[in-house]
Amino acid sequence: MGLIDVLLLDLDGVVRHYDPAAAEAIEKGSGLPPGRLLETAFEPRLLQSVVTGAITRAQWVDRVAETVGPVAATAWATQRPSVDRAVLATVRRLRTAGIRVGLLTNGTDRTAAELAELRIAGDFDVVFNSAEIGVAKPDLRVFMHVLRMLDVPRSSVLFLDDAAANVRGASAMGMRAHLFTSASDLTDACKTYRLL
């Protein structure tokens, strides 16, 4: 096998994107202060509960609604994300070349359904969802779980995430980890390890 056996990608901010202007528009339309929606939804303890499977996505939206109101919460929860087509093209090329490609996401109980709705579920060989594992990035236990399941040498896993803390966590476990800011970061990393 080559230098890299598995490419592991974060989902949100790498493969799937939400338009920040949409949240701003919802806040404006609902008379909420700027930033209130995301501040409420991503409050650390609440976020930790949903991404470790302690509460469902529906319960998460209900909690957000308690603060911002049901109209704003529903509008936020039903936004249509976009798929990064450049990232997806690279994923498909790599899989055709025999590289396993997976997702490692701090997700919810709805992640599998969301991937199916976006019609990209079949583009990944494996999906590691923190809500199913019970531990979320950047906790080292989630990376340990992934490595155990992949059953490949740590250094043969290439991981890209848009959060620096998650990149540090993967690096600490011996994965080859890179920060993602755009599709060109994925291309560059793949070239570095001679995947492309």
Q: Which CATH architecture describes the domain 6-17+82-192? A: 3-Layer(aba) Sandwich (3.40)
Residues whose CB falls within 8 Å of the CB of residue 148, separated by 6 or more in sequence, listed in order = none
Query: Tokens representing 184?
Result: 């060109």
Cβ atoms 108, 60 nearer than 8 A? yes
End-to-end CA distance of the chain: 15
Would you put residue 168 in left (φ > 0), alpha (ψ -120 to 50) or beta? alpha
Given a cut of 50, the residues of the chain with pLDDT beneath it are: 1
Q: What is the share, in percent, of the chain residues with pLDDT greater than 70?
A: 99
At 2 the pLDDT is 59
Residues whose CB falls within 8 Å of the CB of residue 165, separated by 6 or more in sequence, listed in order = 137, 138
At 11 the pLDDT is 98
Query: Tokens representing 79?
Result: 């936004």
At 196 the pLDDT is 87
pLDDT, tens digit, for every residue of 21-76? Answer: 999 999 999 999 999 999 999 999 999 999 999 999 999 999 999 999 999 999 99
Domain ranges of the chain: 6-17+82-192, 20-77
Q: What is the share, in percent, of the chain residues with pLDDT greater than 90?
A: 98
For residue 73, count other CB atoms closer than 10 A to its CB: 23
Nearest-angstrom CA–CA distance, 195 and 104: 20
